[in-house]
Structure 1
């Protein structure tokens, strides 16, 4: 039996504490100031904060069994919260070839060729994170014939950084059963050369998922290892909680097993995925009815967050659904949503009736409008503000949408790193570039904006995301994606995005996202005061020295 002691389990002394002690309602009203404590101190007991104040105030909580951390000269913030990524998927991709940030088409081919030379015949080769928009030697897509030439004896599949496009070689296509005569999936595309033969490029989930389901499944041990790997990575960035989107039954089962074995090192919030890859609209409606548990089921380490739908694709693949302006590169073409207006209305209304929170992937403004219409319909059944329905990405914000969002309390999960590294700026009209996925406009207009990455698309580093939110720098062009400063945020607003605001989307803003008595004892300790610096690169370059989850150190540099 564990012996209980009256003193604190953990006391941290002498950091400068950015408490983020502010409510989400105050943020929406324009308030961004909160207590900042010089030579601060915090005490934790049984996983919760029991005292916040100065270092001297903490002496009364110290006893024989108290762990004391001297954080002199350091910064302490709440543990960072990631409101939209693919944790499980990122963990799995860490086992594959990593092409994130690779700026050469040939370098990717060389890496695949080297891997094939050292891989037994028939064994699958996988790679993740390529992005043709940043290739400097050529932006021509790698295709089936390129891969066949360097890896003729291994099935190969390479996943785009957006996770909306995939390239496969002949062996992989044959294993999947794809031929030149395979019908095009609904809302997706199987690519062909001009001669009608398959080119190996697959677009959107309807085409990707049969391929991803064909590759050999991970063992249970590999599934668990993927959660351990991503946990270590998230902790190294100061992340203590994350919303994991696009999960199916199997993946949620693995999460439960990892939790049972004590392997989770971040608070995991699971999103149940309703996508055509899992069945028709009617089948997904039935899946909603069959789920016995809804939003909030679970505990402090693992719970159900909500349902997610991918309503359209991405701009780079011309699969985002546009409305107010046609595609700049394809005159007269607007794209369309994966679900019709009637279908997304029905899904959101049924989920709302059952008590689910609902998050919708929206890139184009047509998909945004249709998602908001669905939320308005759902609001007739039950107040959407209570369930906290939200938009994921919200790439093209428009003023006429904001009154609806404010009335319903609809927030947005933004990914500044993705915007800055994706290289999509040349695809947009100039007036769209100035505003797309703009955190500054959200703060200025009372829309709650959470910080996230969409990892494995880009790095889940919150410091990197904050840097891009503050600078709005497009790394691929060197341009500033901003109209004056209105689309940028301040360093303090960026910190709020990755703490209090993000906690809103998992219904946890009353227990995390700020350093306050009664909250989870989740902290990040940084090596510099980047939030008071006039140089934004201090945010980018700041290092996490310790990450603390529930009063226990889970990462130390």
Structure 2
């Protein structure tokens, strides 16, 4: 028996070193091979290769073209990538999965150049929408409008023109950040908002000098409108709502695959949503792998977290082991980010504490007690510091708990004093590279030049200090485009040709790491994802060119030509493969 084992071992080694394998021996025959191109593995032990072999849903071998061709058998699917480059599948490091799917079903204002253009889109939708039904849309940002002839208060318009074309429909237009909504008069009438209405704590109703609501609801002030809309939708049969959520999940997943994204970290789910996504994992209809974080009240999570905690459920398609994205503060774009000093362009305000600190503390205790990761939003430097204080106190109370990898989401403004604290506490500041370019044109307006330079979007400074580099686009807040976020991460070039904080640009290698291994580590998945390494999941994106070597001005020409998920081609040259 020992002799037989030795002989079989020799045959296996010979085959793996490039000799033609015995195709009747399944252990040395690949199910799929990628040859004829370049492999960027993001594995520091072997960063480059010529070809890769896949068996079942795992990476089988990485090596030379000859090595891998030796593993071809009669049933092997041979894919010649013809000089293109294969990388690990992108991991979206922060997004809102079903909200992204929803955004693909409502009015899209991302490319609107004026409020008048948005009003025209809503007016057209009103003609096709039954009276009394809500009209919703998403993606507008006042600082991106090129025409601002009707801007009247704090960079915002009044609702009058919108209300005039929608007398019979409540309208809710979600800011691109998700941290505010613009509503019409009909919507305000439904919730009973008037000149005497006091906004919820952590929110602000933008008003004219006469007290009349302008239409913009910042942060927590938007909650009554979202609840009114949700209540209206809840009147539908449960089967309709369930089918709609599944449809959103399919749309979000398929759009992700088109961009080479094979895993998606969702930072704000609910128990009822996870129930449906778990059903989809059971029947194999989830298009991408999901890492989910609950955004529920601490009181509602009490007693339920252990039941819902799951890792790699449904053939590694569903993991639930985090609490987030509760928002300690708001967004810079809506003047909601909680700052240590007032806004330069709105000196009356230092931003908003949206969710009470006491609620965050309660969630932190639940997370550490039930072995959940905590991932709370802290955009402004005051919010970031408050979170470090909360995390540090919880760690001190639980010295036996280690390798927690707690995160601070959208870490966009950080005081220099808090950089060493971040490293000492082993906290992960979760970044979205694309925000440096989408926000860059107006950040100095919010913070001023000096504060921007020392604290604004200092991604590379944190990485150089030892923080784990992460990346993403926060869909539907920004385009779900890893190539665009990669380009901004390494160039910091703005649309007008200028550069925003260029000293904070990542190297090419760091940027790719942030979108693969960095995000995998931030979700405790570095052993199964993030690199093209034997034994890891066979999640691969094939690109038209090599992101590590193309000139800066050619990065955005890169196309995703193929996406492989678990050893199966799921997207190819513009089409989802079913």
TM-score (structure 1 length as normaliser): 0.90
Query: Is 1:153 matched with 2:171?
Result: no
Query: Is 1:319 matched with 2:336?
Result: yes
Q: What residue in structure 2 maps to residue 238 of structure 1?
A: 260
Partner deviation per Cα, 1:371-417 (whole Å, 9 max, x = no partner)? 11111112121566512101111111233212222122211211122
Deviation of the 1:197 alpha carbon: 3.3
Please give the alpha-carbon distance, in whole angstroms, between the structure 2 residues aligned to 1:257 and 1:286. Answer: 22
Query: Is 1:479 matched with 2:493?
Result: no
1:331 to 339, 347, 352: 347
The answer to whether the 8 A contact 2:93-2:264 is kept is yes
Please give the alpha-carbon distance, in whole angstroms, between the structure 2 residues aligned to 1:143 and 1:266. Answer: 41
2:198 to 160, 183, 196: 183
* Secondary structure in structure 2 of the residue aligned to 1:441: helix
Deviation of the 1:229 alpha carbon: 0.6
Q: What residue in structure 2 maps to residue 350 of structure 1?
A: 366
Query: Is 1:109 matched with 2:119?
Result: yes
Deviation of the 1:307 alpha carbon: 0.3
Q: What residue in structure 2 maps to residue 51 of structure 1?
A: 61
Deviation of the 1:166 alpha carbon: 0.5
- Report 1:501-512 matches (<5 A): 501-512=518-529
Structure 1 unpaired stretches of 5+: 23-32, 279-283
Deviation of the 1:179 alpha carbon: 3.7
Q: What residue in structure 2 maps to residue 515 of structure 1?
A: 532
1:261 to 283, 304, 309: 283
Q: What residue in structure 1 maps to residue 377 of structure 2?
A: 361
Distance 1:289 1:374, change over 3 A: farther
Deviation of the 1:110 alpha carbon: 1.4
Please give the alpha-carbon distance, in whole angstroms, between the structure 2 residues aligned to 1:156 and 1:196. Answer: 21
Query: Is 1:301 matched with 2:311?
Result: no
Q: What residue in structure 2 maps to residue 291 of structure 1?
A: 305
Q: What residue in structure 1 maps to residue 147 of structure 2?
A: 137
Please give the alpha-carbon distance, in whole angstroms, between the structure 1 residues aligned to 2:515 and 2:558. Answer: 15
Please give the alpha-carbon distance, in whole angstroms, between the structure 1 residues aligned to 2:143 and 2:199. Answer: 26
Partner deviation per Cα, 1:223-276 (whole Å, 9 max, x = no partner)? 1111111111100110000111111122222212222332212110111014xx
Q: Which has the higher contact order (CA 8 A, sep 6+)?
A: 1
Query: Is 1:397 matched with 2:420?
Result: no
Distance 1:332 1:169, change over 3 A: closer
The answer to whether the 8 A contact 2:201-2:220 is kept is no
1:428 to 447, 465, 479: 447
The answer to whether the 8 A contact 2:470-2:514 is kept is yes
Q: What residue in structure 2 maps to residue 272 of structure 1?
A: 294
The answer to whether the 8 A contact 1:173-1:179 is kept is yes
Q: What residue in structure 2 maps to residue 36 of structure 1?
A: 48
Partner deviation per Cα, 1:176-209 (whole Å, 9 max, x = no partner)? 3434433321111233343333333211145333
Please give the alpha-carbon distance, in whole angstroms, between the structure 2 residues aligned to 1:257 and 1:446. Answer: 40
Please give the alpha-carbon distance, in whole angstroms, between the structure 1 residues aligned to 2:247 and 2:160. Answer: 34
Please give the alpha-carbon distance, in whole angstroms, between the structure 2 residues aligned to 1:349 and 1:338. Answer: 19
The answer to whether the 8 A contact 2:330-2:351 is kept is no
Please give the alpha-carbon distance, in whole angstroms, between the structure 2 residues aligned to 1:190 and 1:210. Answer: 16
Q: What residue in structure 1 maps to residue 244 of structure 2?
A: 222
The answer to whether the 8 A contact 1:294-1:356 is kept is no
TM-score (structure 2 length as normaliser): 0.87
* Secondary structure in structure 2 of the residue aligned to 1:331: coil
The answer to whether the 8 A contact 2:199-2:220 is kept is no
Q: Which runs of 4+ in 1 moved over 6 A?
A: none
Structure 2 unpaired stretches of 5+: 1-24, 235-239, 574-578
Please give the alpha-carbon distance, in whole angstroms, between the structure 2 residues aligned to 1:18 and 1:342. Answer: 46
* Secondary structure in structure 2 of the residue aligned to 1:313: coil
| More divergent stretch after superposition (148-157 vs 254-263) | 254-263
Query: Is 1:377 matched with 2:393?
Result: yes
Partner deviation per Cα, 1:67-101 (whole Å, 9 max, x = no partner)? 11101210000000111011110101100111113
Partner deviation per Cα, 1:270-329 (whole Å, 9 max, x = no partner)? 11014xxx5xxxxx2452343224655452100113001211011232221111x32112
Distance 1:206 1:271, change over 3 A: farther
Q: What residue in structure 2 maps to residue 69 of structure 1?
A: 79
Please give the alpha-carbon distance, in whole angstroms, between the structure 2 residues aligned to 1:265 and 1:347. Answer: 30
Q: What residue in structure 2 maps to residue 99 of structure 1?
A: 109
Distance 1:270 1:515, change over 3 A: same
The answer to whether the 8 A contact 2:309-2:321 is kept is yes
Q: What residue in structure 1 maps to residue 42 of structure 2?
A: 20
Please give the alpha-carbon distance, in whole angstroms, between the structure 1 residues aligned to 2:78 and 2:404. Answer: 40
The answer to whether the 8 A contact 1:345-1:377 is kept is no
* Secondary structure in structure 1 of the residue aligned to 2:266: strand
Partner deviation per Cα, 1:21-47 (whole Å, 9 max, x = no partner)? 14xxxxxxxxxx96222xx11111120
Q: What residue in structure 2 maps to residue 525 of structure 1?
A: 542
Please give the alpha-carbon distance, in whole angstroms, between the structure 2 residues aligned to 1:295 and 1:496. Answer: 28
The answer to whether the 8 A contact 1:144-1:169 is kept is yes
Please give the alpha-carbon distance, in whole angstroms, between the structure 2 residues aligned to 1:298 and 1:354. Answer: 18
Distance 1:137 1:206, change over 3 A: closer
Q: CA RMSD in A?
A: 2.2
